[in-house]
Amino acid sequence: MRGIYLILLCLLLQSGAGYCASPAYELYLKGDLQKAASAYMALAAASPANPTPLLNASACLKQAGLYRRAARALVQALERDQLNPDIYSELGWLRFHLADYEGARSAFETAIQIQPLHARAELGLASVYSNLNEKEKTLEHLDKYRQLRPDFAGVDYILAWNYMNFNMRDEAEKALIEALRKDPSFTEARLPLAGIYARQGKFNEAWNEYYRVLDYAPGHPIASKMIKVLEGKLTKQPEEIRPPFRITKPLVMAPLDALAKLSPSVKIRVGIGTGNTGKQGRNNFLKIKSFEGMTVTGKASGKVYATIPPDETWTAVYEDGKVTLKGPDGTVYGHFSGHILVKPAKPEGSVIFEASAKIKNPWFRGGDRQYRGYMELYPIAGRGIGVVNVIAAELYLLGVVPSEVAPQWPYESLKSQAVIARTQVLIRRAHGGVHKAEGYHLCDGQHCQAYKGESIEANTTDRAVVDTEGEILTYHGRPAYTFYHSNCGGWIQASKEVTGWGDSPYLVTKPDIAPGRHEDPLGPWDFNLWLTGNPDANCNYPGRVRSSEFRWMKIIRQKDMTFRVNKDYAVGEITDIIPLRRSPSGNVNSLRLVGKKKTVTITREHLIRNILGFSSLKSTLFEIEINRFKNGKIRNYWIYGGGWGHAIGLCQSGAAGLAGKYNMDYKGILDFYFPGTSIRHIKYVKKHK
Ligand SMILES: [Zn+2]
Ligand SMILES: [Zn+2]
């Protein structure tokens, strides 16, 4: 009885938003895609006038890789809804991926007849003509698509791809530069641009582009190889092509407002110059100075080994498993097998690491780095010098907030960032955190929270820290797990959905849309339209947030995909890639890779993001379409995605949107993303005046 009731309820709801917690939808979320499709088909049979169950069935079949059956379901749906351009457009895409170009063209053209300038259909027509090698028509429809999605870096990338096919090198170069202006992390666009420069004999430019590929995709095989090939051909020194950022001595006193206003807070330990996993980098040597002068003391002994005058640069060298300290003329002041402390002569002073091209760790190679508090240096066997910044929590936050968000963002969103960053600090300090073994509470990268030190501090973010001094977010009196990410793509993901994240009552799923507006999770068909479109969301905030963070795409060639996957899993030539389990937010939580030799299923968030192509996906919020030749072999993969990061907790771009579009204050923002939590003052702060 209850089952029938549920189906009836679903039928009612499906005429609306297309969502319902129906058994079919549950099967879809679980990744049981064929059963989900059958269940939607049963709903379609029970409700002969309603096209929605057929559309959902089609979307499940497509995700399962069954494009022919998916197309048949759409043809059936058209009998129930003859004037829906989205159905024609999607039918066109299925046919296009099956290499039925005539069928695809007619479906796209019908979509455009019903709705002129239908974005997806315009892109589809361009793609059909591109595969048919019809230059004029390809470019004509791509141009229309570009007018419809002007901020979308994917358009320029596809344009460039076609220009290269049509041997239009100058146009390709311009389109690639445009794609990279919109999305600097677009590795797939940077590689061909580097190739164009290399062929033009612009070796410095080519070298620089390959170097930037490595910034986003460390260890990228082509970029690593080409860097070495080009090194002998450069006409400028690497330092001239990529001039390091230099800190010069300020003529007047730097603004010390924040410093004067903040009361003493607990000291924390931060690993500096760390890599992707938060471990120390390869610091073969370091150049150290301070505008105020410094002392070097033994941590255990308390003995003063050196007093360094203001502005004088000393070096710490990793030699024979010890840290050797040398003065400017090379005089050795000691070999240390334990920890030494480098402290500025004045408490408000700072320690500076000077950039040098000879330091292996890119963090210290690329630019001067300046830190408040003091530094602890120690040898790490076989690796180099460990660098830990010991600093008062509130002063640390002055460097975190502008590293995590843009200081120009709406002010209340900066305050919300200060509160959640502070909460993270206290949790990790109390529990030791993931870097307990390394001897620090947090690393300075995205792994924990980004911290670039004093040189990035800004007036606005300073004020945000001062105005929220000592405030943290709590749940039932305990610090809350204030996870955050750059951009959710439009839906927040609940922590319990993701392997290894645990279940917190305030880390829930919800749409990142205007406060007070309600929206149900999207069914498979609506999800596809939403992800490939440009929907309204707090984090869709042009002018403040890069559009390439909210919506992105990649086209990956079959041989690149097979090569990348086989580096980690020996599955042989790839024959299918199927996202299985999804959160109600749409994020993929398990991914099946089918190869000629074997099949593997991946469930960890970072593994899913890293396996598809050479540079990792910005998020797990994606759909994958597989484009095949007539003979069924795979040509390439089209990945449509949204958001940047894990989509759990606070969406930084969305917080900017809530503050900027709706004038929401930071308490409202925190309540929006962490419902049920409250703000508390912590005790380390002695309230001033
Ligand atoms: Zn970390
Ligand atoms: Zn968002």
Nearest ligand to the C-alpha atom of residue 437: 1
Compute, in angstroms, the gap from residue 144 CA to the centroid of ligand 2.
Answer: 28
Compute, in angstroms, the gap from residue 270 CA to the centroid of ligand 1.
Answer: 9
- pLDDT surpassing 80 at residue 241: no
**Angstrom distance (rounded) from CA 677 to CA 419:** 12
Compute, in angstroms, the gap from residue 674 CA to the centroid of ligand 1.
Answer: 22
First to last CA, the chain: 67
Average pLDDT value for residue range 263-278: 93
Q: Where are the beta strands (DSSP E) in 290-444?
A: 294-298, 304-308, 314-319, 322-326, 332-336, 340-344, 351-354, 369-371, 374-380, 384-392, 442-443
The answer to whether the CB of 121 falls within 8 A of the CB of 111 is: yes
Residue 639: strand, helix, or coil: strand
Compute, in angstroms, the gap from residue 575 CA to the centroid of ligand 1.
Answer: 36
- pLDDT surpassing 50 at residue 672: yes
Backbone angles phi, psi at 685, to 5 degrees: -90, 125
Long-range contacts of 83-88 (CB under 8 A, 24+ apart): 83/114, 84/51, 84/114, 85/110, 85/111, 85/112, 85/114, 85/115, 85/118, 85/121, 86/111, 86/118, 86/120, 86/529, 87/51, 87/55, 88/114, 88/121
Residue indicated by tokens 């007539």: 630
What is the percent of the chain with per-residue pLDDT over 70, rounded to a whole number?
Answer: 94
**Angstrom distance (rounded) from CA 318 to CA 284:** 5
- pLDDT surpassing 60 at residue 253: no
Region for residue 177 given its phi and psi (left: phi exceeds 0; alpha: psi -120 to 50; beta: otherwise): alpha
pLDDT score at 122? 96
Burial grade of 476 (CB within 10 A; 0-12, 13-18, 19 or more): exposed
pLDDT score at 237? 80
pLDDT score at 251? 39
**Angstrom distance (rounded) from CA 8 to CA 601:** 35
| Greatest alpha-carbon span in the chain | 89
The answer to whether the CB of 571 falls within 8 A of the CB of 56 is: no
Mean residue pLDDT across the chain: 91
Confidence of residue 215 (pLDDT cuts 50, 70, 90): confident
Collect residues with CB below 5 Å from ion ligand 1.
278, 443, 447-448
* CATH class for the region spanning 60-231: mainly alpha
Compute, in angstroms, the gap from residue 447 CA to the centroid of ligand 1.
Answer: 4
Q: Where are the beta strands (DSSP E) in 180-299?
A: 267-271, 285-289, 294-298
pTM here?
0.89
Compute, in angstroms, the gap from residue 376 CA to the centroid of ligand 2.
Answer: 38
Compute, in angstroms, the gap from residue 399 CA to the centroid of ligand 1.
Answer: 16
- pLDDT surpassing 60 at residue 240: yes
**Bridge partners (DSSP) listed for residue 679:** 473
The identity of residue 19, as a single letter, is Y
- pLDDT surpassing 60 at residue 252: no
Confidence of residue 250 (pLDDT cuts 50, 70, 90): very low
Compute, in angstroms, the gap from residue 494 CA to the centroid of ligand 2.
Answer: 13
Compute, in angstroms, the gap from residue 387 CA to the centroid of ligand 1.
Answer: 14
The answer to whether the CB of 269 falls within 8 A of the CB of 440 is: yes
Range name among 122-126, 177-181, 569-573 with the lowest pLDDT average = 177-181
**Angstrom distance (rounded) from CA 584 to CA 497:** 9
**Angstrom distance (rounded) from CA 408 to CA 644:** 20
**Angstrom distance (rounded) from CA 24 to CA 36:** 5
Compute, in angstroms, the gap from residue 542 CA to the centroid of ligand 2.
Answer: 13
Range name among 45-59, 162-176, 256-270 with the lowest pLDDT average = 256-270
Q: How many CB atoms lie within 10 A of CB 372?
A: 21
The string of pLDDT tens digits covering residues 374-427 is: 999 999 999 999 999 999 999 999 999 999 999 889 999 999 999 999 999 999
Q: How far is CA 359 from CA 188, 282, 363, 454, in A?
A: 28, 8, 9, 21
Nearest ligand to the C-alpha atom of residue 275: 1
Nearest ligand to the C-alpha atom of residue 447: 1
Compute, in angstroms, the gap from residue 405 CA to the centroid of ligand 2.
Answer: 14
pLDDT score at 248? 53
- pLDDT surpassing 50 at residue 4: no
Compute, in angstroms, the gap from residue 543 CA to the centroid of ligand 2.
Answer: 15
Nearest ligand to the C-alpha atom of residue 650: 2
Handedness of CA 540, 146, 637, 558 (dihedral sign): negative
Confidence of residue 26 (pLDDT cuts 50, 70, 90): very high
pLDDT score at 5? 47
Nearest ligand to the C-alpha atom of residue 438: 1
Range name among 180-194, 304-318, 471-485 with the lowest pLDDT average = 180-194
What is the percent of the chain with per-residue pLDDT over 90, rounded to a whole number?
Answer: 78
Compute, in angstroms, the gap from residue 609 CA to the centroid of ligand 2.
Answer: 18
**Bridge partners (DSSP) listed for residue 600:** 593
Structure tokens at 469: 């001094």
The string of pLDDT tens digits covering residues 287-321 is: 999 999 999 999 999 999 999 999 999 999 999 99
Domain boundaries, the chain: 1-59, 60-231, 260-475, 483-673
Confidence of residue 217 (pLDDT cuts 50, 70, 90): confident
- pLDDT surpassing 70 at residue 145: yes
Compute, in angstroms, the gap from residue 343 CA to the centroid of ligand 1.
Answer: 24
**Bridge partners (DSSP) listed for residue 492:** 510
Confidence of residue 257 (pLDDT cuts 50, 70, 90): confident
Average pLDDT value for residue range 198-220: 88
R_g of the chain, CA atoms, integer Å: 28
The answer to whether the CB of 444 falls within 8 A of the CB of 270 is: yes
Confidence of residue 255 (pLDDT cuts 50, 70, 90): low
H/E element, 178: helix 169-182
Backbone angles phi, psi at 571, to 5 degrees: -95, -10
Compute, in angstroms, the gap from residue 231 CA to the centroid of ligand 2.
Answer: 42
pLDDT score at 1? 38
The answer to whether the CB of 328 falls within 8 A of the CB of 314 is: yes
Nearest ligand to the C-alpha atom of residue 648: 2
Backbone angles phi, psi at 180, to 5 degrees: -75, -25
Tally the C-alpha atoms within 13 A of residue 47's C-alpha that lie toward its C-beta. Answer: 21
Range name among 186-195, 278-287, 527-536 with the lowest pLDDT average = 186-195
The answer to whether the CB of 611 falls within 8 A of the CB of 591 is: yes
Compute, in angstroms, the gap from residue 286 CA to the centroid of ligand 1.
Answer: 22
- pLDDT surpassing 50 at residue 15: no
Q: Where are the beta strands (DSSP E) in 584-633?
A: 591-595, 599-602, 622-628
